[in-house]
Structure 1
Amino acid sequence: MAGSAFFMACAILVLFGFCVEAELVQHTFKVSNMMVRRYCKNKTITVVNGEYPGPTITAHEGDSLAIQVINESPYNISIHWHGIFQRMTPWADGPNYITQCPITPGNSYTYKFNVVGQEGTLWWHAHVSVLRATVYGALIILPRAGVVGYPFPNPHKEETILLGEWWKADVITLQNRALASGSAFNISDAYTINGHLGDLYRCSNKHTHKLEVEQGKSYLLRIINAALNTQFFFKIAGHRLTVVAADASYTSPFSTDTIAIAPGPTIDALLHADSHPSNYYISALTYASSPAIPFDKAASPYASAPPSASPFDNTTTVAVLSYKSSPPSSSPPIMPPLPAFNDTPTAHHFYSNLTALHPNSVPLQIDQRMFVAFGLGLTPCSVNQPLCRGNAISASMNNISFSFPTTVSMLEAHFRKIRGVYTKDFPNRPLVAFDFSNPSVNNQGSFQLTDKGTKVKKLKYNETVEVVLQNTAVLAAENHPLHLHGYNFYVVAQGFGNYNKKEARKNYNLVNPQERNTIAVPVGGWAVIRFRADNPGLWIMHCHLDGHLSLGLAMVFEVGNGPTPSTTVPPPPQDYPTC
């Protein structure tokens, strides 16, 4: 009886995390330039520890992490730990000029944070300029050591798949040219799987990732879209996948042969090796949600044709899945049937059919309601855009195109009460209501021009928030992946057209909605998210199409301190970077 009582007591302690000792996981990231050869030519890229993609960080739930970033590159750098809540460690979140100034060349900064209440697939990436084109890697959070396993049968093996983009030209040069001219960022030349282009591209037979499987066994694929600007359809010939998690939150098992994944999100999917032993292509190709909208230069004299009329990278990257028992063959691997690049019904079916594995604590009483219309627009050329003529392409939320500060981070300004860095008047709704999802607004210049500003939405600690995210068709209608730092949120509804409160609420899922840190808001449509503001600090919400972030598609939540020391933002660390 005494032994049973001890076992029960220890089981309770384990449940609350006291019987299993958490670890300190330490890494050193040396950021530097490196020469690589891809697509028939040598090219210098920025990498971490000489690896492309960068090193994988693996920790258990409950562990503490300390990652020293040493900047040996010629560029400013900061690292964001995508999806980590950073509770009481907002100084480690990483977005440039939001929670820190960049780490300048020759200097270093140690990011220290805990991973509590999270498990699954996340990732890390540069959060300054366009360096995350090559500066990124996986961040895997395993279940707490010695406590529980996965809520599904343990796989035979796990495989991380990082999807990316590749440019023949230098991405920093391309970005500088786009910013100077007020134009859109150049499309990529190729796509990658784990840094390899795949054998469908020239000079890339040796640059094809391979996954070997055994007949009858299952494999957990941790899929991460690390691309700068491209949403993907992901398929494996001859196999279906069972989605079991998204953004490090478990989902009800969802069987599919096509995964849609925007830049930023992660998907965990089980692969069952139950097909005929052979070689199969693993493929990733563009989901280009933006149709070419008719553009009338006479009716809209503000700019050249909108970015939606530009071509996109219509190529396919592949890896090879091969069975150990398959006989040698000179035949090429089997290619899966691929969706059309603009197959929005398939993408929406995937995005809208994920639900949480268990009922979750969706806020039912709402303190703050916001309606945020967002998309592309125009702003007058500035003196910093010498190649710009008339107006430049911009992006905005509620018609505010976000301007990053340059002299101090917003979090430090908040903590030290420095005035003049930002204002607390981000509007709860658009100043002007219009037919948001109607492509004809593309020709109406009054809806195209945006205002510049550094504005935040102030929230009290523990307030509940509902945000209606309304996509607009100004200049271009497309699917935008919006990422919120510091939080997960519940996606309670999504749909097409203009949000209609009465109709939409009939379909709200307030029981087991998917829990995400990034929502791909449907092209020409909307999504409704809810969260509880229980994490003090400054948290940016922005489009994870990198070209749109630099154009101003962002806003910031300022969440106040709670009533106790454990809910109050602590001072910045001693090695905190300064501007």
Structure 2
Amino acid sequence: MPAFAKHAVTALAARDTFTPRDTLATLTGAVTNLTSNLLPDFLTNNPLPQGFPWGSATADNTNYYDTWPDTGVTRYYTWSIAKGSCSPDGVELDCVLVNNQFPGPLVEANWGDMIEIQVTNNLDEGTSIHFHGFLQKNSQWMDGVPGIQQCPIAPGKTFTYRTRAELYGSAWYHSHYDAQSANGLYGPVVVYGPKNAQYDADLGPVLLGDWVHTDYHDLVDELMAPYPNAKIPPSQNILINGLNPYYGADAPTAKFQVNSGKKYRLRLISAACSATVKFTIDNHSFTVIANDFVPVNPYQTDHITLSVGQRSDVIVNFNQDPSTAVWMRTFIAPCSEAEGQTEAKAAVYYENADTNSLPVSSPGANAYNTYCGNDDLSQTTPYYPITPPNPSFENVIPISAQVNGTHLLWYMAGRTFRTNYNDPMLLEAKLGNLDFPEIQNVHNYGDNSSIQFVIENTGSMPHPMHLHGHNMFVLAEGECTDNNFVFGRSDGVAAADLNNTSKAYGNCWDGHVTNANNPQRRDVQMLLPGHYIVIQWLQDNPGVWPLHCHLTWHAASGFVWSILERPDDIANMPIPSVMADTCRDWASWTGANVVDQIDDGL
């Protein structure tokens, strides 16, 4: 039996009154045999006013950025982060595991529950956990980015994350320490909440993650080799719920059981390291009901595009003969760096299908679609409408790859980034110290009510842009190919100095807004090569928040913009003393151990 199979069936360790589901039974439907475990509409040990844990709140009557339930319930989990052997595709690797599992345990909560996760670091280096897409509005210090909100958890030490499920839907968690997630430190999150479309059953998370066969430290060494020898590590395989035999290796295939005539919710989550992926099911189409943590007005498509960190919740009508078996497919789009196997398949069996045989269905017309952009902005209108206000601050931020004298790094408006694990920015801001080193790329937006960025990418690589602590309005996108115009002054008189952030950069945006009264909102938006995106967010969450490309190797190479939001409110923030204690533990450990931080640390 492959090592992965031995780890996969370990039950979720939890301290709670509800019965935890076996992680892989929930996620894959099977490792070596088929099951049909489904997720509930909600966890039922909450008080149930009006029949739901969230009371009378619905998807269309509650602004979830301002109002969320307080259920009085806390979901407790206990995790050990440690190295362990795994072989999700049949190739053995020393992985970074949660409770000896890959993918990590499923985290479940109802909307408004508190989530408390006790994390013990049994690695020989630091670690941290980021709950992707969580707003952290009353727990800004729990965002899990080392050097920004916290010091890393030192080896042998325990740190407890505690946050409220302020939004609902599908998400994931991952390490934000260096590139640990590339070797497995991630897992799914489901927050049950009101429905914005009807379906019969919830098939649960479908994690789509690319995979590498090399220790991430060695890959970072390749990435940070002196110019011109730097190499962006390519994806070598793609997994569905942690499974996909590598070129016929002796490893299991993910399997799902469905019933004919039923509509199922699938929670598609990109836990990729760097790949943009396409998702299809042969001979079936999708109704999209959410993008990231934002329920949307349902729309139809036959394929889903997810860049790193993005999620789409879809409903699939399994309306074929009960003896049907079909392939579920995910494909690494050619805009991604890949060398190896670029397609994963999982078997979907109707109730009377022969589960001892693999499907023989053919891919649909868009199974190998090469377009790397997200669905058209005109399609993706939030179910709860919000009209953005006029921004109080605007900026144009061009992206460039530059050599700093020895290494090739990413720059945003002429600035690159490196974190200081020992001195988190949020803790400094709490003390009133707002004069940060230039390399931390901090920008103080004061008490501005709303910020608007035009981010311009005239280069050849895609960039999934992720903002912590907020859902972004995505106002517009379009072509932006004239490098001389973008990096020259907007009047075209002189070339811009990329190290002078006061320069007026050329603005590719023509001022149009798609769905001005209710534009798309999400926490990751794909920025295509030769394109711009226009994003805006409300400054309603004081803190220090990274805006970064979510490709692991780009984020590691300086592609981070640090947003200092409402520093006067940070001064009054009730940051608990455990944050300082964690820094003392980290300082003690680093006083006796050298931290191998050759990249920017994120």
Q: Does TM, normalized by the shorter one, top 0.5?
A: yes
Aligned to 1:546: 552
Using the size of structure 2 for normalisation, the TM-score is 0.77
Partners of 1:462 and 1:534 within 8 A in 2:
no
Partners of 1:351 and 1:520 within 8 A in 2:
no
1:551 and 1:575 map into 2 onto residues whose CA distance is 27
Deviates more, 1:521-530 or 1:501-510: 501-510
1:421-469 superposed Cα distances (whole Å, 9 cap, x missing partner): 435xxxxxxxxxxxxxxxxxxxxxxxxxxxxx22222123351111111
Residue 141 of structure 2 aligns with an amino acid whose one-letter code is: W
1:310-359 superposed Cα distances (whole Å, 9 cap, x missing partner): 76455211111111122567564313136586722xx4362534422436
1:121 and 1:12 map into 2 onto residues whose CA distance is 17
2:75 and 2:356 map into 1 onto residues whose CA distance is 44
Residue 327 of structure 2 is aligned to residue 281 of structure 1: yes
- Per the TM alignment, residue 190 of structure 1 is displaced from its structure 2 partner at its CA by 1.0
Residue 467 of structure 1 aligns with an amino acid whose one-letter code is: F
Residue 127 of structure 2 is aligned to residue 77 of structure 1: yes
Residue 211 of structure 2 is aligned to residue 184 of structure 1: no
Aligned to 2:73: 23
Residue 418 of structure 2 is aligned to residue 403 of structure 1: yes
2:520 and 2:68 map into 1 onto residues whose CA distance is 29
Superposition pairs of residues 423-572 of structure 1, within 5 angstroms: 423=438, 453-461=439-447, 463-473=449-459, 477-497=460-480, 504-561=510-567, 568-572=572-576
Residue 86 of structure 1 aligns with an amino acid whose one-letter code is: Q
**What is the DSSP-based 3-state SS (H/G/I as helix, E as strand, rest coil) of the residue aligned with 2:96?**
strand
Task: Please point out which of 231, 242, 250 is paired with 1:195.
Answer: 242
1:358 and 1:218 map into 2 onto residues whose CA distance is 20
Aligned Cα root-mean-square deviation (Å): 2.8
Partners of 1:493 and 1:527 within 8 A in 2:
yes
Question: For the structure 1 residues 97 and 66, does the alpha-carbon distance in structure 2 shift closer, same or farther, using more than 3 Å as the test?
Answer: same
Question: For the structure 1 residues 559 and 365, does the alpha-carbon distance in structure 2 shift closer, same or farther, using more than 3 Å as the test?
Answer: same
- Per the TM alignment, residue 159 of structure 1 is displaced from its structure 2 partner at its CA by 2.1
**What is the DSSP-based 3-state SS (H/G/I as helix, E as strand, rest coil) of the residue aligned with 2:578?**
coil
Partners of 2:206 and 2:269 within 8 A in 1:
yes
- Per the TM alignment, residue 240 of structure 1 is displaced from its structure 2 partner at its CA by 0.3
1:561 and 1:574 map into 2 onto residues whose CA distance is 21
- Per the TM alignment, residue 112 of structure 1 is displaced from its structure 2 partner at its CA by 1.2
1:323 and 1:123 map into 2 onto residues whose CA distance is 28
- Per the TM alignment, residue 194 of structure 1 is displaced from its structure 2 partner at its CA by 0.9
1:6-34 superposed Cα distances (whole Å, 9 cap, x missing partner): x99x9998559899733111111110111
Aligned to 2:261: 216
2:275 and 2:69 map into 1 onto residues whose CA distance is 44
1:33-70 superposed Cα distances (whole Å, 9 cap, x missing partner): 11123444432111101110001111111111111110
Residue 495 of structure 1 aligns with an amino acid whose one-letter code is: G
Question: For the structure 1 residues 107 and 184, does the alpha-carbon distance in structure 2 shift closer, same or farther, using more than 3 Å as the test?
Answer: same
Aligned to 2:352: 325
Contiguous gaps of at least 5 residues in structure 2: 1-48, 487-505, 588-602
Partners of 2:465 and 2:524 within 8 A in 1:
yes
Question: For the structure 1 residues 395 and 215, does the alpha-carbon distance in structure 2 shift closer, same or farther, using more than 3 Å as the test?
Answer: same
Partners of 1:356 and 1:512 within 8 A in 2:
yes
Residue 93 of structure 1 aligns with an amino acid whose one-letter code is: D
Partners of 2:140 and 2:543 within 8 A in 1:
yes
Aligned to 1:151: 196
Partners of 1:239 and 1:275 within 8 A in 2:
no
Question: For the structure 1 residues 495 and 106, does the alpha-carbon distance in structure 2 shift closer, same or farther, using more than 3 Å as the test?
Answer: same
1:52 and 1:178 map into 2 onto residues whose CA distance is 25
Partners of 1:164 and 1:193 within 8 A in 2:
yes
Residue 342 of structure 2 is aligned to residue 315 of structure 1: yes
1:236-271 superposed Cα distances (whole Å, 9 cap, x missing partner): 111001110011101111211111100011110111
Superposition pairs of residues 203-282 of structure 1, within 5 angstroms: 203-204=249-250, 206-276=251-321, 277-282=323-328
Residue 469 of structure 2 aligns with an amino acid whose one-letter code is: G
**Percent of residue pairs identical:** 25
Partners of 2:478 and 2:509 within 8 A in 1:
no
Aligned to 1:379: 404
1:192 and 1:256 map into 2 onto residues whose CA distance is 22
Give the paired residue count.
Answer: 499
- Per the TM alignment, residue 201 of structure 1 is displaced from its structure 2 partner at its CA by 2.5
Task: Please point out which of 170, 187, 211 is paired with 1:121.
Answer: 170
Question: For the structure 1 residues 43 and 568, does the alpha-carbon distance in structure 2 shift closer, same or farther, using more than 3 Å as the test?
Answer: same
- Per the TM alignment, residue 123 of structure 1 is displaced from its structure 2 partner at its CA by 1.0
Residue 578 of structure 2 is aligned to residue 574 of structure 1: yes
- Per the TM alignment, residue 399 of structure 1 is displaced from its structure 2 partner at its CA by 1.7
Aligned to 1:56: 106
- Per the TM alignment, residue 525 of structure 1 is displaced from its structure 2 partner at its CA by 0.2
Question: For the structure 1 residues 496 and 412, does the alpha-carbon distance in structure 2 shift closer, same or farther, using more than 3 Å as the test?
Answer: same
1:361-411 superposed Cα distances (whole Å, 9 cap, x missing partner): 232321000111114232212xxxxxxxxxx22111112111222431111
- Per the TM alignment, residue 472 of structure 1 is displaced from its structure 2 partner at its CA by 2.3
1:478-507 superposed Cα distances (whole Å, 9 cap, x missing partner): 221010001011111111225996973334
Question: For the structure 1 residues 329 and 416, does the alpha-carbon distance in structure 2 shift closer, same or farther, using more than 3 Å as the test?
Answer: closer
Partners of 2:233 and 2:553 within 8 A in 1:
no
Task: Please point out which of 385, 406, 412 is paired with 1:360.
Answer: 385
Contiguous gaps of at least 5 residues in structure 1: 1-6, 144-148, 291-309, 382-391, 424-452
2:186 and 2:89 map into 1 onto residues whose CA distance is 20
Aligned to 1:385: none
- Per the TM alignment, residue 107 of structure 1 is displaced from its structure 2 partner at its CA by 0.7
Question: For the structure 1 residues 418 and 232, does the alpha-carbon distance in structure 2 shift closer, same or farther, using more than 3 Å as the test?
Answer: same
Partners of 1:289 and 1:479 within 8 A in 2:
yes
- Per the TM alignment, residue 101 of structure 1 is displaced from its structure 2 partner at its CA by 1.2
- Per the TM alignment, residue 202 of structure 1 is displaced from its structure 2 partner at its CA by 2.4
Partners of 2:225 and 2:231 within 8 A in 1:
no
2:54 and 2:330 map into 1 onto residues whose CA distance is 45
Partners of 1:161 and 1:193 within 8 A in 2:
yes
Residue 155 of structure 2 is aligned to residue 105 of structure 1: yes
**What is the DSSP-based 3-state SS (H/G/I as helix, E as strand, rest coil) of the residue aligned with 2:244?**
coil
